[in-house]
Amino acid sequence: KKKKQQEEEQQNSLNVPGLKFTSIKKYAYDDSTKSLTFYITLKGVTPTTKSELTINENSFDLKIFNVEGTNYRFVMDNLHGDVKKTSFVKLKKDRVRVVLRKIETGTWSDLKKKEEEPDKKGGDPLMGMMQKNV
């Protein structure tokens, strides 16, 4: 329990002691060939609300500060493809839009890359069982 609490505290910190974030879990998205756009409804957000968007190769971290006294964070890692540093966030009244520009054009089958199982080497799974038992 203590380890989980420490992990949450690390996720919630912005190198500022005592600054806490509430995770954004509800969103919609649109996948086009050149970009991936996330839509978030967040009551109290305005175009002048302070925000910070950090882009890495296949992840992003959005922080939105002091929305009616609460800081919010939306993190997505292990994206299906890489995104450009020129991606951006746009704030409107009660709405947030994150536009991730794709490095390679095309639509993604999923938001995140699927982890391949280490046992999958292709072929017939029964053959693998028979070879182990021989």
- Per residue in 1-43, pLDDT (tens digit) is 444 443 444 344 444 557 899 999 999 999 999 999 999 999 9
pLDDT digits (tens, 9 = 90+) for 39-67: 999 999 999 999 999 999 899 999 999 99
Q: Which uninterrupted H or E stretch holds 71?
A: strand 70-76
Rounded mean pLDDT, 104-128: 69
Q: Which residues contact 90 (CB under 8 A, 6 or more apart)?
A: 96, 97, 98, 99
